[in-house]
Every structure is written in C-alpha cells, then in structure tokens.
Amino acid sequence: MTGSGVPRDMLGRSALTRVPDARRLILDALSGIKPGSETVPLHMALDRISSADIIAGEDLPNCARSTMDGFAVVAADTFGASQSMPAYIDVAGEVLMGREPSGSVQRGTCFKIPTGGLVPPGADAVVMHEHTVEVDGRLIEVVKSVGAGSNVIKKGDDIRRQDVAVAAGKLLRPQELGLLAGLGIAEISVFRKISIGVLSTGDEVIDYTEPLVPGKIRNINSIVLAGACRRLGASVTDYGIVSDSEAAFFSTVEKAVAENDLVLFSGGSSVGVRDLGEQAIARLGDPGIIVHGVSLKPGKPVIIGLCGTTPVFGLPGHPVSAMVCFDLFVNPVIASISGRTDSEIQHPSVPARLMRNVNSAPGRLDVVRVSLSLENGEYRATPVLGKSGAISTLSRAHGYFLIAEDSQGCTSDETVEVILYQ
Amino acid sequence: MTGSGVPRDMLGRSALTRVPDARRLILDALSGIKPGSETVPLHMALDRISSADIIAGEDLPNCARSTMDGFAVVAADTFGASQSMPAYIDVAGEVLMGREPSGSVQRGTCFKIPTGGLVPPGADAVVMHEHTVEVDGRLIEVVKSVGAGSNVIKKGDDIRRQDVAVAAGKLLRPQELGLLAGLGIAEISVFRKISIGVLSTGDEVIDYTEPLVPGKIRNINSIVLAGACRRLGASVTDYGIVSDSEAAFFSTVEKAVAENDLVLFSGGSSVGVRDLGEQAIARLGDPGIIVHGVSLKPGKPVIIGLCGTTPVFGLPGHPVSAMVCFDLFVNPVIASISGRTDSEIQHPSVPARLMRNVNSAPGRLDVVRVSLSLENGEYRATPVLGKSGAISTLSRAHGYFLIAEDSQGCTSDETVEVILYQ
C-alpha cells in the first residue's frame, strides 16, 4: 500500500502505457475498419466524408473562357505592341455571356469578350480592356502585347476529365462541394455517419435535470462527450446514467456495443467501478482490453478496449480527465473509423509565449490547459489553474499544450505549441 | 480606356477601399445589431450562442469532495509524518460514494474515502492511499504529511454562486454545456440562428443538376456560400439562379432582404451586372452602398451594402474570388450579427515555411492559397497555383496567407502565417 517510483497500472500490475503507444495500439487494431457507404444529393453532403475517389466526368472548364473583360485576339497580332507603337486590330464581333461565339477570329481581327465569355475559335489570348484604346466601334489600338494563353482559362485547366476531383476519405468542405457542382456531379457516395453510444456510471451520479441531494453529483460527462462526438460528425445515443451494479452495467454496455460503432463510458473513478469497466470490455468479446492506464496527467486511468470491431473507452469520471482522454485517444479513433484519411491538419495549433512556469513530473505526459490572449500579434498562453475535475477550467481554456514525458516542465517565456479547442 | 497606376473602383470613379477599412466600415455600421433570443433545452444548445450572461445559481461543487482515493484526516495529525516516523490514525468510518458521511472526523481519527466522496465534517485534507500503510482494519500509518486542503476540492472551488458561468455572446462548446449541466441549468437563452439568403445571377449560369449547353457554366457559388454560412451556424435559403434582367433581379433581392438577416448574391463579373447589383442595394433602402471595390486580389469587385439593418454582399462571380471575399468580409459580419463577442481566436493560423517566391503588386492585399505539409514538426506552405476562377485550387488548399498592401511579395523560406480553412 506504500507508493513507489515505478509506474504501475491502476490495478498495480504493470507499467503504464505511453500515450503515443496507446494511441498506436488502438489505431493499428482498427486499421481497415470503415463504415458502410450511402449515396446522398450533393447539397446534403456538407461535412460528410467521401467513401470513394470521385472522378471528373468532363473537363472543367469544358471550353476556353476569358478571365478578363477585353478582346479575344490572335496573340501574334499583338507582338511588339506598346503605348508608342500600338497594334491596330479590327473588331469583327462580340462574344455575349452564356452564348456560343458567332464566328471565329482571324489574323488581324478580334472579338470583344466579357469575363467568363467563351473564347472564339481562332483566338488564343485575351487583351485586357485596360490595355486597349477604342479608335471607333470597328477598330482598337492594343498598347501591350500578350502571349498565347494570356487571360484565358483553357479547357481542362481547372480539372481534367478522368482526374480524381475528390479523393476517398476526404471531409467535404464547401469548396469540395463547389468543385463537384462545377463538374455537374449531383449525388455522391459518402461514408454513413458512425454511431456512438455514451453512458455514465457511478452511484453518486444523477441527471443534471434532477434536484441535487447531498452526496450526489450531476452528470457532466455525458453532455460534454456527446457534444464532442457530434462535432466530429457522429450520431450519438445517450444511454443515460447506469448503476454500477454488475448486472445493470454489463447489460447496458453490451446493448451499446451491439447498437453502435463506438462506445464511451465514463465515471468509475473508484477502483471497484474501474474493475467493472475492465471486466465488461473483457467479457464482451476479443480482443478485449488493449490499454489499461497511461502515463498521462490528467487521464491516467483510461481503459481502451475492442469488442470485436467496436472500440470501447472507459474514461475517467473527472470531466477534465475525460476530455483530455477524448482529445488524445477518442478523437483520432473517431476520425479513423469514420473513414477519414485527410486528418493530418485536423488539430490546428498556434505557438504561444508561456506566461508562467509549469512543473511536470518526468515519466508522464502532462496536458496543460491555457487561455490565450493576442498581444502585438503574439499569442500569450496563461495556464488555467484549478483543482482536478474543475469543469470551469475547460470552459476558460482556449486550448492546451503538452509537456513531454522526459521533461520536468516548461518555463515562463518559453514558446509552447497550443492545440486549439475548436 | 488605357490603364494607369492609380487604384480606381470598378466604375473608374474613385480609389478602392483598403480591406481593413472596408471591414471596419461594415462592422461599425452593424454594431449593436443582434438577433432575437429563444430558450432551448441545454442538450440542444451545442454550437449556439449565449444571449445573456448565465449566472451560477449555486456553488460547484456544492460541498467539499476528495480528489483521491485515501483517508479524510485532520491535516495537523499528519504533520511531521514520514516513512521512518509514521503518524498512527484510527479509522473511525468510511465515506460511501453518493452518500452523506455518517459522523464526523475527530483529532486522531480518519474516514476511508473514495475519489469524489464527500469530505466528512471535521476533516480538512485527504491522505492518498499510496501514502498510507494499513495496520489493521481499524488503524493506518500515514507516511507523508498533508497540508490543510490537500486532495480536497472545496465548495465553490470550481465556480461560486452568483459568478458568471458563461458570458453573453459565447459559442457554446461541449465544455460550456458541461459546466452548465454541473450547475443544474437545464435550459438557457440563446440567440436565434440568423437566416441568410443566397442567390446567383448571370445569364450564363445554370443549375449544376442541369445538362451543360455551350456557353453556359454551372452554378458553383451557391453551394459553396451556403455551405460556408451553414458552418457558421446560419440557416440558409437558396433563391437559386436569378436572371440578370433588372426586374427579376431587383424583385428577388428585395424578397431576400425582407426574409433574411443577411443576403449574398454572386456572379455578375460583367460591368452591367455589377451596375445592377449596386443599383439594387442603393434602391432597397438607406444607408445603401458602403463599399464598392477593394484593393484586394482576388476579390476586387466586391460590393458591400446595407439595406436598413440587413447587410447585402455582391460577391464576384469567380468562385475563388467569392470565397476570399466571404472569408475576409462576410465571415466577421456573420459572427457580429449572430451575437458573438468571443471571436478573437476564431481563425486559427499556423506559421509555415513558404516553399517558393510569390510576387505581389504593391497597393493591394494579396490572398495566396497554399497547401500545407508537415515535415519534422514544421509546416511547409506551397502556393496552390491555378488560373483565376479555378475552383480546384480551393479544394487543394489547406488555407491561405496574406501579402500586405505595401509589400512586393514573399520569398522562398520566409515564414508566413497561414490562416487555416476548417
């Protein structure tokens, strides 16, 4: 019962797993697991994830267009033109928006053309309006030469037929929908949304809508975890607060595992409830427990398991610890099993000047929540202090930085990389 | 018709407005405009914006709790305790999770207590389990002294009654919902979602679901702008593609202004359609046109107006230019009229090493789209090249950086600040 310097897991059995190792263990175990796909209309596809490469069925643009208001010319007719030695070119016609040009451009002639107008056959460049002087309705002076292709977007310049317009596994932002609309793709195949079951346990926990009685605490984790999952595109089922009696807990976790792609339970900071969580994961199917306890503060008692192909996370009861474990472990697992393969820039971070010393015990990764202020273009990070479990510290934080396992802390004025809460 | 070095607006009349000035003009004109509010259940409030300060009605926690598994003691009983000189303390009881302690702690006695357990009256600290040795069920040795308050979160340590739990104008992230749940606040007042009307114009533009005929281009902007608005929490009505005949255009813009909190129209890269947009804004009510043309590339021809209290934006027809104007002007306006006051860290950016030279003409702000890669912990930004209007450049970009008006460009290996697309 005395302490010792050797890291041990929650049950005193073995060394704690390092955070990157824990993450790799569960991600490796899940590699290749993807949701099924479904077809949705393009206008319903915002923030969904493409389930297959989407191939351009045509060139974009599908014919050459002007990118300027001006005159469609044969570029060679302008060579050597200048303010003092303009080239004279006959205006043989005009391109109207939305219409095919009537006729073609010959040497020595040009067509007036608006931005976006189709470049007529024979023309290979557009002279900007600003580089011309109108002599009369039928003749212009060109005062600057243009090379072939100038001010023209050619057929296929944006994207070519048969090119991959959007790769599989990509989050569909507004701009991807725009590209697909430009290609006339009106419906696409996306991964179906993953479903996540959330439950809280602990005989002391009551729903936040119920009156508080002495000894009880309100359920904070369910609404925080459900919100964090929804923001990552998942559908969430809240299984409420489950008694930590063995029968009730096992049957609810079993039901949640059967009904969802991922299950989160939280609470059970007591050793008894942690045992229960571990037993539930082990009993529900192989491979069972993957990680039990990590060298992390806060968040050490996290349990990560896999029941068949369904990841199950036992998160600490303290809301702050639960959120730290969510960010470090659950978030990348959700990205992976949602089918995302574009997640390299998923967690934006900013460098910031640390405003006070922060100590850290070697041998564990420390997650330090900070509030940010912007002074003269520089971010300043002030650690948000508070007792373990203080949910207000999360609300006051703009993000967090990490103190590596082998570090004893960070000093004031040091630059730290702050991972931003969205 | 010849060019000149002097910046002029689209109609050749006056100097272009600088980007920060344009933004300030419209934001100042809108200051104080907020949506109405509505009451929603807490579990429906994710990503909504608080419309009033939310006050804590009680202390959180509402009584002192242990943050460790261990023994609740009178701290003075442990003073001087060490491995070689342990303090001996009688175990007088046990705190059970979710229950009020039965009895109180006297000098020389302690209660066994789990993490989260209520600290019994008389006790002022908790000794961690790891710093004790059980002699028998009724007696422990304490091998490390604790100060008063150690391993205890006191009543109100997280948040105090009457404190502002969440300020007005704050985006409700999962952690804010958690804090409010912890305080037992089951419904809150939020700003109602703003409504945005989107329309495209131009006789060359057709719906992307229609077959392409020569001379026409598919409507890209509506789906991009609608998606970008939805991601900022707005409700969007798509008014489709409106003919650029005066009667049709005016009546649709008028309807959109009447029905929405903000209106975006795009298209009309031709001078005639730009005139039409300007006239529509001027005709629909004072103060009318606020900005017409900015020193920006791409995005110069943007029109910003205000019809009564409804901002109306005429965006360029090129999708890339439209998106740049959306990011620089529409995004902050949406944040402002949605009631947000917490937007200082809204646009996360990262420093990145520029991978090639980029030239810029002095006298305008240049927006350069880049793709990012992460090499040895350093971001590298490669400009995404492409002709003006190429939507694929937006899809290949992770974000953009700005080249200031007074700069002639950036050089390879220079560090640039890349504002990330979400």
Instruction: Answer yes or no: is pLDDT of B2 > 70.
Output: no
Which CA distances in Å does A217 have to A163, A212, A299? Answer: 56, 7, 20
Cis ω before A61 (30° cut-off from 0): yes
Nearest C-alpha of chain A: how many angstroms from B112?
12
The total of other beta-carbon atoms located within 10 Å of residue A360's CB is 19
Considering only residues 366 to 395 of chain A, which have any Cβ-Cβ distance to chain B shorter than 8 Å?
Answer: 372-374, 386-392, 394-395
Question: According to the model, what pLDDT value does residue A1 have?
Answer: 38
Residue B418 phi/psi, 5-degree rounding, is: -95, 120
Cβ atoms of B33 and B337 within 8 Å: the answer is: yes
Fold agreement between A19-35+193-341 and A65-153: no
Cβ atoms of B329 and B335 within 8 Å: the answer is: no
Q: Which two tokens stand for residue A401?
A: 């930085």
Instruction: Answer yes or no: is pLDDT of B14 > 90.
Output: no
Test the A interface: residue of B209, B232, B395, B417 with most A CBs within 10 Å: B395
Amino acid A412 reads S
Average pLDDT estimate for A149-170: 94
Question: According to the model, what pLDDT value does residue A13 have?
Answer: 52
Average pLDDT estimate for B145-154: 94
Q: Which helix (H) or strand (E) holds B224?
A: helix B221-231
Under the banding of pLDDT at 50, 70 and 90, the label for residue B110 is very high
CB contact under 8 A, A208 and B175: no
Residue A346 or residue B37, greater confidence: B37
Question: Chain A residues with CB inside 8 Å of B317's CB?
Answer: 115-116
CB contact under 8 A, B98 and A67: no
Look at residue A327 and give its three-state secondary structure. helix
Which residue among A182, A203, A351 places its CB closest to the CB of B97?
A203
B6 touches chain A (CB under 8 A): no
Instruction: Answer yes or no: is pLDDT of B78 > 90.
Output: yes
CATH number listed for the domain at residues B19-35+193-344: 3.40.980.10
Which residue among A61, A387, A422 places its CB closest to the CB of B67?
A387
CB contact under 8 A, A388 and B153: yes
CA distance A110 to A88: 10
Average pLDDT estimate for A31-52: 97
CA distance A318 to A127: 67
Kindly provide the ipTM of the predicted complex, given to two decimals.
Answer: 0.91
* pLDDT 10s digits, A64-84: 999 888 999 999 999 999 999
The total of other beta-carbon atoms located within 10 Å of residue B15's CB is 12
Question: According to the model, what pLDDT value does residue B12 have?
Answer: 53
Question: Chain B residues with CB inside 8 Å of A114's CB?
Answer: 269-270
Residue B116 or residue B327, greater confidence: B327
Query: Lowest-pLDDT range, B23-37, B263-277, B286-300, B314-328?
Result: B263-277
A223 touches chain B (CB under 8 A): yes
Which residue among A175, A317, A394 places its CB closest to the CB of B391?
A175
CB contact under 8 A, B181 and A212: no
Paired sense of beta strands B70-73 and B109-113, if any: antiparallel
- The residues, any chain, with a CB within 8 Å of residue B227's CB and separated by 6 or more, are A46, A173, A174, A177
Which CA distances in Å does B209 have to A60, A111, B282? Answer: 15, 31, 33
Which residue among A183, A319, A374 places its CB closest to the CB of B178?
A319
Average pLDDT estimate for A20-31: 95
Which residue among A181, A228, A395 places its CB closest to the CB of B220?
A181
What is the share, in percent, of chain A residues with pLDDT greater than 70? Answer: 94
* pLDDT 10s digits, A289-338: 999 999 998 898 899 999 999 999 999 988 999 999 999 999 999 999 99
The total of other beta-carbon atoms located within 10 Å of residue B6's CB is 8
**Which residue's entry shows tokens 């804590």?**
B56
CATH class of A19-35+193-341: alpha beta
Instruction: Burial-class residue A208 by CB neighbours within 10 Å (0-12, 13-18, 19+).
Output: buried
CB contact under 8 A, B133 and A1: yes
Question: According to the model, what pLDDT value does residue B13 have?
Answer: 52
Under the banding of pLDDT at 50, 70 and 90, the label for residue A362 is confident
Considering only residues 248 to 287 of chain B, which have any Cβ-Cβ distance to chain A shorter than 8 Å?
Answer: 269-271
Give one DSSP letter per residue of B280-343, joined into a string.
HHHHT-TEEEEEE-BSEETTTT-EEEEETTEEEEEE-SSHHHHHHHIIIIIHHHHHHHTT---G
Question: According to the model, what pLDDT value does residue B347 have?
Answer: 72
CA distance B415 to A20: 29
Give one DSSP letter per residue of A336-397, joined into a string.
HHTT---GGG-S-EEEEEE-S-EE--TTSEEEEEEEEEEETTEEEEEE----TT-HHHHHH-
Under the banding of pLDDT at 50, 70 and 90, the label for residue A365 is very high
User: Of B315, B304, B261, B305, which Cα lies nearest the Cα of B284?
Assistant: B305
What is the share, in percent, of chain B residues with pLDDT greater than 90? Answer: 75
Instruction: Answer yes or no: is pLDDT of A151 > 70.
Output: yes
Instruction: Answer yes or no: is pLDDT of B167 > 80.
Output: yes
CB pairs under 8 A between A and B: 294
Question: Chain B residues with CB inside 8 Å of A270's CB?
Answer: 69, 97, 114-116
CA distance B16 to B291: 9
* pLDDT 10s digits, B338-391: 999 976 556 778 889 999 999 998 889 999 999 998 888 788 999 998 766 688
**Which residue's entry shows tokens 């952690």?**
B175
Instruction: Answer yes or no: is pLDDT of B289 > 80.
Output: yes
Which residue among A116, A157, A220 places its CB closest to the CB of B317?
A116
Closest residue of chain B to A86, computed from CA coordinates: B2
Instruction: Answer yes or no: is pLDDT of A271 > 90.
Output: no
Question: According to the model, what pLDDT value does residue A80 have?
Answer: 95
Average pLDDT estimate for B35-51: 97
Closest residue of chain A to B391, computed from CA coordinates: A179
> Considering the domain B37-60+157-191, what is its CATH architecture?
Alpha-Beta Complex (3.90)
Instruction: Answer yes or no: is pLDDT of A343 > 70.
Output: no
**Which residue's entry shows tokens 């860290």?**
B345
CB contact under 8 A, A114 and B2: no
CB contact under 8 A, B215 and A143: no
Nearest C-alpha of chain A: how many angstroms from B286?
31
Closest residue of chain B to A210, computed from CA coordinates: B184
Question: According to the model, what pLDDT value does residue B3 have?
Answer: 37
CA distance A16 to A9: 5
Question: Chain A residues with CB inside 8 Å of B270's CB?
Answer: 69, 97, 114-116
Nearest C-alpha of chain B: how many angstroms from A131?
6
CB contact under 8 A, B221 and A3: no
Question: Chain A residues with CB inside 8 Å of B83's CB?
Answer: 2
Test the B interface: residue of A221, A345, A402 with most B CBs within 10 Å: A345
CB contact under 8 A, A2 and B83: yes
Instruction: Answer yes or no: is pLDDT of A3 > 50.
Output: no
Question: Chain A residues with CB inside 8 Å of B323's CB?
Answer: 174-175
Which residue among A67, A208, A269 places its CB closest to the CB of B184?
A208
Query: Lowest-pLDDT range, A271-275, A382-386, B84-88?
Result: A271-275
Question: Chain A residues with CB inside 8 Å of B205's CB?
Answer: 98
Q: Which helix (H) or strand (E) holds B124?
A: none
The domain limits of chain A are 19-35+193-341, 37-60+157-191, 65-153, 349-420
Average pLDDT estimate for B318-332: 93
Closest residue of chain A to B419, computed from CA coordinates: A348
Summary mean pLDDT of chain A: 91
Question: Chain B residues with CB inside 8 Å of A111's CB?
Answer: none
Question: Chain B residues with CB inside 8 Å of A43's CB?
Answer: 223, 226
> Considering the domain B349-420, what is its CATH architecture?
Beta Barrel (2.40)
> Considering the domain B65-153, what is its CATH architecture?
Beta Complex (2.170)
Look at residue A120 and give its three-state secondary structure. coil
CA distance A17 to A300: 9
Question: According to the model, what pLDDT value does residue B204 have?
Answer: 87
Cβ atoms of B72 and B198 within 8 Å: the answer is: no
Average pLDDT estimate for B79-92: 96
Average pLDDT estimate for B179-195: 97
Instruction: Burial-class residue B5 by CB neighbours within 10 Å (0-12, 13-18, 19+).
Output: exposed
Summary mean pLDDT of chain B: 91
Instruction: Answer yes or no: is pLDDT of B313 > 60.
Output: yes
Sign (positive or negative) of CA dihedral B209, B210, B211, B217: negative
The total of other beta-carbon atoms located within 10 Å of residue B376's CB is 5
